[in-house]
Each structure stands twice: as C-alpha cells, then as structure tokens.
Structure 1
Amino acid sequence: MISLGDWAFGRLDAVEVWRNLTDARVNYSTDEVRRPTWNIDVHRTALPEERPGPPEPAGPWEQACRLVRDYEFSPPEIVRALYDPAAPLLGRDMLLEARFHGMRFYCGVRVTEVVDETRAGTDRVWGWAYETLEGHLERGKATYEVVKRQDTGEVLFVVSCHSQGAPTLDRITFLGWRLFGRRTQLRFYRRCAERLRLFVEAALRGEHPLPGAPSTVGRLVCAPSDARTHRRDALALHRVAPE
C-alpha cells in the first residue's frame, strides 16, 4: 500500500485532481491533426511469436494484452498513471504524472476507444486509446494495440500517436516541453516496447518481474505496479494541469 502523501509528497491531492477530470473535455479536434505542426508516429515492436492460428491460451498475445490493459508497459521513470480499476475501460479517466528532468506534470487523459477485432481476415487485434483532456501539456491521442498475424504467428505491439504541445502552456511548462518534450516522448515509446517485450518473455518463462499488486490511493491504483517513489522526488517542480 502507498499513501497519498508518499505518492505525491503531500504536494498534490491526487484523488481530488483525478476526480475533477470528470468534467474535463478532450482538448483538440481530429480535424486539426496534420503535419508539420503535429507529430504523427507509428512504432511497431515484435513480441515473441506463436504458432499460426488464433491466439494461444496464456500465449504471448494474451500475456501482452493483459499487460497493456493494466498500463504495466509504461516506464515509471517517465509516465505513471492513477485510475480506478473498477471503472469500465472505455471512458476511464486517468491522471498521468509526466516526469521530465526535475519536473512533474499532472495531466488528464480519457480512454475514448477500445479495439477488439480481426482485420483483413488475419490480424487479431486488441487494444485501447486515450486522448488528452483540458489542461494537458499535450494535445492528441495515443493508441496501444497488440496484434497477432494469424497466418504467420507474428505478434506485434503497435503504438500509434498524433500529438503536439498544447498552445495554452504557461512559460515554465512551455520551456520544459521545448527542452525535453519531444525527446522524452520518443524515449517513452522506446521504453514501452522494451518493457512489454521483457515482461512477456518473463511471463512465458513462468517468472513474475512485476510486484504482485500495484500501489493504491484509496480505491485508485498507481500504474505501473513497479513504480516507486524516492526522497529526491520531493525536490521536483510539481505542476498540475497547466493552462
């Protein structure tokens, strides 16, 4: 168990900030999304393969879906999340803690899409997407999908994103974003893929690289479950929903 004070060092009522996300709206329109003012990214990572055919019980595809569902792939040194695990996945509000070089930004996202389908008659796909809410330091959408190509047995983790820095950032937040934002964003994608592959491989060996249960704040959980706090975090600059 982790107390609210331990997680946010007494400088943030995380439960209250999360609760306020209910009234927040998505902070952009898809009609705005176009290069060069938006970053449009697709990252594909090969996971352990299966035999051709439908996903195997407890195989790489199912193991990856479980980890993606619970946001365990997120690297805790970059992004952590607070959410209600009892809430349906579709429509779930998540409070993210983005960690940039001595700065902590608390921003909201909402799960606006759940993917559960077969594409082109062969690709079995499961995943979900969240979009940024008012007050986020970015605007955009990230989609996380696990794909099995049933004709070959290949299993992939696919991250698709479109994003840009929010135009309403205050001076301090804007400076932090300009210095570290895009670089940190690309590192986040790379670390997500590394973690997911590592965890799937460990699960297939019967190992448990993550703690048995995530830390909690009331009924909310902190993800990923290997997130830990350090005394030096208390010295970081904390910013809540920069407007």
Structure 2
Amino acid sequence: MTRAGRWVFGRLDAGQAWRDLAGKGINYDVSEVRGPAWNIDTHRHALPAERPGPPEPDGSWEQACRLVRDYEFSPPEIVRALYDPDAPLAGRDMLLEARWHAIHFYCGVRVTEVVDETRDDGRRVWGWAYETLDGHLERGKVTYQVVKHPGSGRVEFVAESYSQGAPSLGRITFLGWRLFGRRTQLRFYRRCGERLRAFTEAALRGETVPASPPPRVGPLVTAPSDTSVSRLDSLAIHRVGPG
C-alpha cells in the first residue's frame, strides 16, 4: 500500500471496511417507499449540448458517461468513494465516506442497476444506480443517468432518488441528520451537477479529465480522482456503519 493509501481515509483501515461490505444486504424494501416519510427527488443539470441526432463520438454525452461511470462527479468535500475498478459495474460494492465537518461517516452501497437504452421517444440514456447497505446513514436508492435528446441535441445529467434517514441511527446521529442531513443532501446533488458540467466542458476542450490518477488503497481506487489526501483527516471522528 502506498503512503497516500495509508492515509486516504484517515485512521480507517479502508480496505477492510470495503471488504466487509460483501456480507451486507440492502437495508430497506422498496414496498416501504412512500411520501411523506421518504424524500423522493429528481435533480436535472444541463450539460454541453450536441447537434441533434444520436450521441456524437467523443461528444458531451460520451464524455459525461465516462465521468459518471467512474464517480468523478462526486464533490470530494462531501462524499468520497472507494471501490474496485476491475469489478463489473453491476454488483459493485462502494465504501462511501460522508464528510460533515470533523465527523466522517463510512457507509456501504451496492450498484444494483445499469441503464443502457434508447427509449421510445428516442432519448439515449446511460447510467447506473446504487442502493444503501446495512449500516448506512440512509435507506434508499440513487440513479445517475446521462440523457441525450436527439430532437434538440440537449444533453443532461439526471439524478433520481428516494431516501430517508435510517431508523436505527443513534439519537444524536439521528437528530443531526434531521437538522443537517437534508441540507447536505441537496447541496451534494447541486455540486454533482456543477462538477460534471465543468469536467465535461474541460474534456471537450481537449483537456485530460481526470488530470491525475486517483489515490489508491492496494487494488482499490478512491473517487473522485481529485480527492486530496491529508494527515489532518486522521484527527476527524470516524464512524463506520453508524446506521
């Protein structure tokens, strides 16, 4: 393991925490999902447009799909991920680090769906979804999709989700989630759209995106690639599987 790898998630043995996800299951049943107890959201973000018609080779849609596949859009100041890049996307386990000031929460998700289709109205859609595992702060599912509208050439990033705080959270964590979790959640989706647009624009200008290889923990990679590794992270409060 590299020196950076030892510190990528502070004091946490990130590799072991990721391996432990294999024994965890999805922490909710879809039959439970209904408002108002659950937040049900759709967040849309415009990306650089293309000419009308199917996606252009190396165009906005293809560049955005590549970035979404590798979780490069995630804002590292809010959420970072650790995963095996050699594992198939479908079924991939990801250890997420949710960062809230000096408290870092480590929770697992699993990719349970890959979307790759042309819909009846001609929209070309690619993306994937993950669902929360036992011990996660939340319960729910997020689907990230890149959509090309062939009639207009419009390209957009769409994040659809349903979620709620895990009922098994401790009292202090639950109260903190009620006070700050939703606000952080909405800021996360806003920043995802901002980053994906900026990175897609940079790629279309011919810039190398990401600009550098991601930090690694053995065979695992950290996403996004611009995650900065600091020894100060070792001073944060680490909570693994708080839910």
- Would you say 1:12 and 2:9 are equivalent positions? no
- TM-superposed CA distance for 1:2, in Å, is 5.2
For residues 1-243 of structure 1, the aligned pairs below 5 Å read 3-9=4-10, 11-208=11-208, 210-243=210-243
Q: Deviations over 1:20-62 (max 9, x none)?
A: 1111000001111111000000011111111111110100000
2: CA distance between counterparts of 1:111 and 1:152?
Answer: 31
**How far off is 1:170 after superposition?**
1.6
**CA offset digits 1:189-225 (Å, max 9, x no partner):** 0000000000000111112353321110000000000
Gaps of 5+ in 1: none
Amino acid of the structure 1 residue aligned with 2:133: L
CA contact (8 A) 1:100 1:180 kept: no
Alpha-carbon distance in 2 for matches of 1:2, 1:76: 20
Aligned residues: 242
Of structures 1 and 2, the one scoring higher in RCO (CA 8 A, sep 6+) is: 2
How far apart in 2 are the matches of 1:212 and 1:231?
20
Q: Is the 8 A contact 1:2 1:215 kept in 2?
A: no
Which amino acid is 2:9 matched to? A
Normalised by the length of structure 2, the TM-score is 0.96
TM-score (norm: length of structure 1): 0.96
SS at match of 1:175: helix
Partner Cα separation in structure 2 for residue 47 and residue 139 of structure 1 = 29
Q: Which moved more, 1:61-70 or 1:43-52?
A: 43-52
After TM superposition, the structure 1 stretch with the greater mean CA deviation from structure 2, 174-183 or 65-74, is: 174-183
Q: Deviation of residue 226 (structure 1)?
A: 0.2
1:237 offset after TM fit, Å?
Answer: 1.3
Structure 1 residue identity aligned to 2:146: V
Q: Distance in 1 between matches of 2:234 and 2:15?
A: 18
Q: CA deviation at 1:172?
A: 3.4
How far 1:128 moved relative to its partner? 0.1
Q: SS of 2:8's equivalent? A: helix
Distance 1:120 1:209 in 2: 32
CA distance in 2, matches of 1:4, 1:79: 17
For 2:242 and 2:5, the matched residues in 1 are separated by 21
Q: Is the 8 A contact 2:53 2:153 kept in 1?
A: yes
RMSD: 1.3
Structure 2 SS opposite 1:211: coil
Identity of aligned residues (%): 69
* Kept after mapping to 1: 8 A contact 2:26/2:134: yes
In structure 2, distance between residues paired with 1:79 and 1:146: 20
In the alignment, structure 2 segments of 5+ residues that lack a partner are none
